[in-house]
Amino acid sequence: MEVQDWVDSSIRAFFCVTGITGNFWLGLRSLPKSKSQMRPNDLLFINLAVSNLITNCLVDLPDTMAQFVNNWFLGRNYCGVLQFSSDLSETSSIFSTMFISMYWHQKLVGSVRRGGAPVQMDNLRLVTVFIAGSWGVALMFSVPHFFIAEHDGNESLEVCEERFPTLADKRTYDGLYLLLANAVPLVGITYASVQIVLVLMQSQKRVGKNRVHNNSGTQANATKTKAMSGSQARAAKSVVAVASIFIICWFTHLVLRIYSSFRNSILAVKLTNFIGAAYTCFVPYVYLHGVKKLDCSCC
């Protein structure tokens, strides 16, 4: 291997190990002590962690190992598994990020604008339906990869290719996938994030006004309210941070995917995989920091 290949492989290995650790930790720290204590937010974090771990373990790990040994050792049949797992994980992860953004937007609005009133996505059944629906969409776009993924017959690292029956079929599939599984969630995440920022700014103004007039009893209540809203604001800020990372990564990912649908480019494929790996690597730590679970305590 050349120096550049070693550098690329080392970076991918770092992303892979960090991503597996972070997503496993996010899923573990989101597990409640009992089933009755399960909250929608916990379920959403667990779903995101599972989605990302599919990429980390079934896509990034074997791909990284193949780069180090400079040979695709998993056989031709794994090409279908690789492409299936990649799109399944990617689609589910995108929708999970959108649901988390929607949830915290509703929670913050319910807390600040409606005095802590319950919100629609506090319903565990509703969130379960959303998650099940997103996996259904992910499966719909991922299953075809079992039938179109092929091995090119040589020992290079770019061995798994997708060969659609016709060019029109490929462009139709890519167009639907980019619209339904990328563009629509991207708009939803952007909208929810902007609304979260606006609510946080309004909340800060109200906190400033409340500091002016207080007696001792009111001060105690204000302190309690501030502590509660502060915890929610910290989590909401982490959601905005992840959304910002997502928008940057997936907008670039979207452009590269559109480009590669019209022109075959090994560089575009590598950059697309690199961006996806970077995203699944960093986001679990941002969420863990936001909900104050970035520690070794499982209590």
CA–CA distance, 57 with 107 (Å, rounded to integer): 33
Q: Is residue 299 part of a domain?
A: no
CA–CA distance, 239 with 62 (Å, rounded to integer): 30
3-state DSSP assignment of residue 9: helix
Q: Is residue 172 part of a domain?
A: yes
- In terms of pLDDT, which residue wins out, 76 or 186? 186
CA–CA distance, 115 with 79 (Å, rounded to integer): 52
- Which of 24-33, 87-96, 213-222, 235-244 is least confident? 213-222
* Residue range 157-174: mean pLDDT, rounded: 74
Residue 150 parent element (H or E): strand 149-151
Count of the separate structural domains present in the chain: 1
- CATH code for position 160: 1.20.1070.10
Provide the pLDDT for residue 50.
95
Whole domain around residue 154: which residue ranges? 3-210+226-290
* Residue range 91-102: mean pLDDT, rounded: 92
pTM summary value: 0.82
Q: Is residue 56 part of a domain?
A: yes
Token output for 166: 């016709």
**Model pLDDT for residues 275-287, shown as the tens digit of each residue:** 777 788 888 998 8
Q: Is residue 217 part of a domain?
A: no
